Amino acid sequence: MRRRILLLAVSLMALAIVDGALSAIVLRDGSFRGRRVAPFHPPTFTSEQRDLAQRLRDGTEVPATNVRFDAELGWTTRESFVGANESYDALGARGGSVGAHAPRASGVDRVAAFGCSFTHADEVADADAWCARLDELRADVEVQNFGVGAYGLDQALLRYRRVASELDVDEVWLGFMPRAALRVVSMYRPALAHEDRSVALKPRFEFDDRGGLAFVPLPVASARELGELLCAPDDRFVTALAAHDAFVGAWASAFAPHGDHLWHRSFTARLLVTKLEGGARPHDDVLRDATSECSRVLRAVVAAFRADVEARGDRFRLLILPDRPSLDGIKAARAGGPAPAYATIVEALQADGVDVVDVTDALAIADGPGAGLFAPGGHWSPAGNRVVAERLARLFD
């Protein structure tokens, strides 16, 4: 018996030595088969993210795009910018829709739309965005497009508050892409979406002791400070974000400096943590669970948005703007399958008194062979944007 125990101990020790050696040799550059392996320090997952973080830290000029760093919002569209496919006015509203400061014609309903890339209409030119298409379809409607790629509903609320005094509108629409719900409990974009091309930070809202919304600002005040935080050799990143970012906080040791935790030296443990951390994106689960932090924050943000809009005497609507998985979910439900995950949160919002407009049915009807409703990157194509515009145009009949 003693011999067996000794043999087992020796075997385990040998395995531990081999495991540690594999970690030191095979994972020495922090990657395995082209994929970043935990611990993620610095917290970048692609070479593009790493290079961008270093350029920000060093103050090296970054090529201008249609978005810029913003100390309050995290990022926003670049005002008075003209790019290859997009242009923006002095308030950052997208071209192709009515300008933010354009005089209002008599008898015309004016709408300001806020939201993420499905409101902005990524992957199509200005004239093909649904806001612009709606302008075309209805001579009695004007739409201002304040959508920003990768925004959470919390950022959309903050952006509305920034420009509200500049707006002369009848309605304010908040576009909601259901599978983007987790953004309201995140702050560091790549922690939620490892493949993202940015290294962006965003603010968020949490609940205070009385159940109200408490604002959590960015831990940096400039793009250079952002680069310094991401490239810091110590645990500043984890210290700044673990308490507020659901994905950094859930695996804080996976974002700590290499060697801070014993498992950092294990080949097996590093691969296991990498797999577990990468799979913790329960989009559908949090939408079905009305008690989840994500659902609760989302409902509170929508309620705050609605209250702000109605306090100015304007009408508030929440638009459900589906991506391909959400559209497939509603089509499956029509064929007798379970209701799509986002149905639960929509029911809760409607129970709160929110005017919800879901364009999913219109897209599902149009989604036949050769319809081509989606562009290669997953956003709506010109055809998809046209279907959405036609559906929303009926709101004014």
> Which CATH number goes with the domain that contains 143?
3.40.50.1110
What is the rounded CA–CA span in Å between residue 82 and residue 62? 17
Same domain, 363 and 305: yes
Domains contained in the chain, number: 2
Same domain, 320 and 383: yes
Q: What is the pLDDT of residue 335?
A: 85
Kindly report, residue by residue over 82-113, the tens digit of the pLDDT. Answer: 998 899 999 999 987 666 677 877 889 999 99
What is the rounded CA–CA span in Å between residue 150 and residue 355? 23
What is the rounded CA–CA span in Å between residue 294 and residue 298? 6
Q: Per the confidence metrics, is the pTM higher than 0.85? A: yes
Tell me the average confidence (pLDDT) per consecutive run of 10 residues in the chain, 397 residues long: 65 72 88 93 95 95 88 96 92 80 84 98 97 95 96 98 95 96 97 94 96 96 98 97 97 95 92 90 84 95 98 98 92 86 92 96 94 97 98 96
Same domain, 80 and 177: yes
Q: What is the pLDDT of residue 281?
A: 80
Q: What is the pLDDT of residue 147?
A: 98
Same domain, 174 and 295: yes
Q: What is the pLDDT of residue 1?
A: 65
Same domain, 303 and 370: yes
232, 265, 281 — which closes off a domain? 281
247, 281, 315 — which closes off a domain? 281
Same domain, 55 and 201: yes
> For residues 146 and 159, is the Cβ–Cβ distance under 8 A?
yes
Q: What is the pLDDT of residue 64?
A: 79
Range of the domain at 36: 2-63+186-281
Kindly report, residue by residue over 184-239, the tens digit of the pLDDT. Answer: 999 999 999 999 999 999 999 999 999 999 999 999 999 999 999 999 999 999 99
3-state helix vs strand vs coil in the chain, percent to 5: 45, 15, 40
Same domain, 219 and 291: no
